[in-house]
Amino acid sequence: EDQVTQSPEALRLQEGESSSLNCSYTVSGLRGLFWYRQDPGKGPEFLFTLYSAGEEKEKERLKATLTKKESFLHITAPKPEDSATYLCAVNTNAGKSTFGDGTTLTVKP
């Protein structure tokens, strides 16, 4: 059974304090790993797709990396507007997407 585990469950940072979120996965046949951002009362919004170990993607203060067992979402010098829940999802060769339970990030000014 495909499994996705995200840690920590919650993360509180001061503005400008860099950190990383972790997504570890166990799947049979990874087709892609996705990161989404979810604001309260909204649906998840796509951030990145990673396909193979060693791949990296960047967008503003966010950088996602992928190994054979886990992915990291690095947040550099975060701002309060980066506060949200970050969800990781794996898509398998069977075309199935499984989500983790997310990390809720709070950035204090």
Partner 1 sequence: EAGVAQSPRYKIIEKRQSVAFWCNPISGHATLYWYQQILGQGPKLLIQFQNNGVVDDSQLPKDRFSAERLKGVDSTLKIQPAKLEDSAVYLCASSHPRDRENTGELFFGEGSRLTVL
Q: Which residues bind partner 1 (CB under 8 A)?
A: 4, 6, 31-32, 34, 36, 41-46, 49, 87, 89, 91, 95-102
In this complex, which beta carbon is closest to partner 1, that of residue 95 or of residue 109?
95
In this complex, which beta carbon is closest to partner 1, that of residue 17 or of residue 32?
32
Do you find a cis peptide bond into 44, omega within 30 degrees of 0? Answer: no
Going from the C-alpha of 70 to that of each of 40, 43, 67, 107, the distances in angstroms are 26, 24, 5, 24
We find the least distance from the C-beta atom of residue 38 to partner 1, in angstroms, to be 9
The answer for residues whose C-beta is within 8 angstroms of residue 69's C-beta and 6 or more apart is 24, 25, 26
We find the least distance from the C-beta atom of residue 101 to partner 1, in angstroms, to be 5
